[in-house]
């Protein structure tokens, strides 16, 4: 049983005595958010509790609740198993208990996707990027309202609740229908990557205090700049907070514990292979032409940025559907640099991250062919296999993990004790919150003074711009999250 630190004790008592019965805990990873929440459950003697979070964190949550309650309490998992479906039925029926559900699973039960037909009963098909019909039939979302009439919860704990930062997301539309007496939101990056992302999570916590109009709220709190479109039209874009730190200072109960800054990465610059450079320049030329034809000042579409970043990883091939894939023998300047770096580190365990699942599979295949002890950690690896990879890595029976950055943002307690080396082959452009979570899985208490992370960057490519923009965006968000 753990004894909360003084600052954690203050949070527990403040929440249990808070008139609005809601709080936002925005601690960096390692700040003890799970311990605080478990103590609130135990001391508050709540009978009906729902913890919504990342499904792979159930064991950690359950262990903490059991330990802090000295074995008196445990969680019921809500999922697709036979026992999980019974737990879901009991939750909806209003039966007492401590329930844990993965966010995606709980939301998925609240929506149905119906195939779309026209007025004559003929199937309607999705359109491709050229507005031509595909072979895939279109579907429409139907909100079932499964939880609207459910008996109110005593306590709703939403872990990593930045997933509802989009005000149009199905997640937000679902959770706001779940009635509860107390609400606790946990996330080190509650607004995601943009200050205006804070509106939805805080609106969920305090629906009577946060302005119900996003546009009025944006006018009051957000710094904006003009974006000039072709034809002289002007639109507004949120670029940060009007007065950094002012909004969170206005919240009834807001806590933030900032961890020590992550050491700066070592940058290794590489020249693209000739074939890679030819592909990259061709893609960049096409995109600059697109910009000239569309608008005067514009952010490149996400798909365009993705294609530029992908070209820096290795030589690409295209399917007949214009989808990218990598041949196992593709040329890659970054992999050549990675090979030398791993030889330099010798027997050290290393985590290798990137934003491309397709390229991660190529890296794993090439490393396995070289006889290295390596495993994949992407969205294609199920929870059971991830648990096995984690156990092998912690036991030092596995030396390397090749991962996509979003897939390693949670549920990695213990990794910091066995691994102090991390390599970035690419980062999530425009998504510094996910990048921060990725590196903080290794750089967290107890902080290893020998921790080192390396970014392999392709010279004269979008890599440089992506890194610069992420640093600026991350700094802006941290200024807004500081409690004034």
Residues facing 158 on adjacent strands: 52, 185
Residue 30 has what pLDDT?
Answer: 75
- pTM for the model stands at 0.83
174 and 309 part of one domain: no
* Within-domain flag for 17: yes
By the 8 A CB rule, do 311 and 240 touch?
no
3-state secondary structure of 127: strand
Long-range contact pairs involving 239-245 (C-beta distance under 8 Å, separation at least 24): 240/195, 240/476, 240/479, 240/480, 241/195, 241/476, 241/479, 241/480, 244/476, 244/479, 244/480, 244/482, 245/479, 245/480, 245/481, 245/482, 245/483, 245/484
| 364 shares a domain with 244 | no
Is the Cβ–Cβ distance between 121 and 184 less than 8 Å? no
Q: Which among 223, 255, 287 is the end of a domain?
A: 255
Q: What is the mean pLDDT of the chain?
A: 89
385 and 472 together in one domain: yes
In a domain, 10, yes or no: yes
164 with 303, same domain: the answer is no
Q: Which of 193, 224, 255 lies at the terminal end of a domain, its last residue? A: 255
Same domain, 106 and 119: no
**Residue 282 domain-assigned (yes or no):** yes
Residue 131 shares a structural domain with residue 80: no
In angstroms, rounded to a whole number, what is the distance separating the alpha carbons of residues 4 and 370?
47
Please report the pLDDT score of residue 286 as a whole number. Answer: 67
Q: Note the pLDDT of residue 298.
A: 47
- Relative orientation angle of helices 274-294 and 302-311, to the nearest 10 degrees: 160
Q: Which residues pair with 223 in a beta bridge?
A: 240
- Are 417 and 229 in contact by the 8 Å Cβ rule? The answer is no
**Which CATH number do you get for residue 366?**
3.40.50.300
366 and 448 share one domain:
yes
Question: What is the spatial distance between Cα 358 and Cα 350, in angstroms, rounded to a whole number?
Answer: 20
Q: How far apart are CA 301 and CA 142, in angstroms?
A: 28
For 335-390, the pLDDT digits (tens) are: 999 999 999 999 999 999 999 999 999 999 999 999 999 999 998 998 889 989 99
DSSP class of residue 454?
Answer: E
Distances (CA, A) of 204 to 160, 200, 283, 439, 466: 14, 6, 42, 29, 32
Asked whether residue 202 is assigned to any structural domain, the reply reads yes
| Total count of domains within the chain | 3
In a domain, 1, yes or no: no
> Are 308 and 280 contacting, i.e. CB atoms less than 8 angstroms apart?
yes
- Asked if residue 260 is part of any domain, the answer here is no
Same domain for 217 and 337, yes or no, is no
* Per-residue pLDDT, 306: 75
**313 and 166 within one domain:** no
Shared domain check, 200 and 313: no
Q: Alpha-carbon distance 480 to 258, whole Å?
A: 13
Q: Domain range for residue 323?
A: 266-481
Is the residue at 137 inside a domain? yes
211 plus 334 within the same structural domain = no
Among 230, 255, 280, residue at a domain's last position: 255
Digit-coded pLDDT (tens) for 22-31: 999 999 877 7
Q: Are 161 and 201 in contact (CB under 8 A)?
A: yes
On whether residue 331 sits in a domain, the answer given is yes
Contact call for residues 434 and 426 (beta carbons, < 8 A): no
Kindly give the parts of the chain with pLDDT less than 70: 129-130, 229-232, 286-304, 318-323, 409-411, 483-484
For residues 395 and 447, state if they share a domain: yes
pLDDT value for 295? 45
């Amino acid at each position: 049983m753990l004894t909360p630190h003084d600052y954690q004790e203050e949070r527990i008592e403040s929440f249990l005595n808070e008139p609005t019965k809601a709080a936002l805990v925005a601690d960096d990873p390692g700040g003890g958010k799970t311990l605080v929440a478990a103590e609130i459950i135990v001391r508050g003697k709540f009978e009906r509790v729902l913890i919504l979070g990342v499904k792979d964190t159930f064991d950690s949550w359950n262990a903490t609740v059991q330990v802090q309650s000295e074995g008196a309490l445990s969680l019921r998992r809500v999922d697709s198993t036979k026992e999980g479906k019974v737990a879901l039925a009991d939750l909806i029926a209003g039966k007492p208990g401590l329930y844990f559900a993965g966010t995606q699973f709980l939301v998925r039960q609240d929506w149905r996707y119906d195939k779309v037909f026209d007025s004559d009963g003929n199937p309607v098909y999705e359109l491709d990027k050229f507005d031509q019909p595909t072979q895939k039939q279109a579907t429409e979302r139907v909100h079932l309202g499964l939880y609207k009439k459910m008996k109110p919860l005593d306590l709703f704990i939403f872990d990593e609740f930045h997933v509802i930062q989009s005000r149009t997301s199905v997640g937000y539309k679902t959770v706001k229908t779940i009635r509860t007496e107390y609400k606790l939101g946990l996330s080190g990056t509650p607004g995601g990557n943009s200050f205006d992302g804070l509106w939805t999570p805080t609106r969920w916590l305090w629906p009577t205090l946060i302005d119900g109009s996003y546009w009025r709220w944006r006018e009051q709190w957000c710094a904006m700049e003009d974006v000039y479109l072709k034809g002289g039209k002007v639109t507004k874009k949120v670029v940060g907070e009007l007065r950094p730190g002012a909004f969170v200072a206005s919240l009834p109960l807001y806590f933030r514990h900032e961890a020590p800054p992550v050491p700066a990465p070592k940058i290794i610059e590489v020249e693209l292979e000739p074939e890679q450079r030819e592909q990259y320049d061709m893609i960049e030329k096409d995109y600059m032409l697109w910009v000239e034809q569309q608008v005067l000042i514009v952010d490149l579409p996400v798909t365009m940025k993705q294609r530029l970043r992908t070209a820096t990883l290795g030589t690409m091939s295209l399917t007949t559907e214009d989808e990218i894939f990598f041949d196992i023998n593709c040329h890659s300047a970054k992999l050549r640099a990675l090979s030398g770096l791993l030889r330099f580190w010798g027997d050290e365990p290393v985590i290798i991250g990137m934003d491309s699942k397709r390229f991660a599979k190529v890296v794993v295949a090439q490393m396995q062919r070289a006889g290295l002890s390596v495993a994949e950690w992407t969205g294609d690896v199920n929870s059971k296999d991830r648990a096995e990879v984690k156990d092998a890595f912690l036991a030092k029976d596995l030396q390397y993990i090749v991962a996509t950055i979003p897939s390693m943002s949670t549920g990695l307690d213990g990794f910091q004790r066995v691994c102090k080396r991390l390599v970035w082959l690419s980062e999530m452009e425009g998504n510094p919150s996910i990048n921060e979570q990725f590196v903080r899985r290794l750089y967290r208490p107890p902080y290893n003074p020998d921790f080192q992370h390396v970014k392999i960057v392709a010279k004269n490519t979008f890599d440089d711009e992506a890194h610069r923009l992420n640093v600026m965006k991350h700094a802006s968000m941290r200024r807004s999250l500081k409690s004034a």
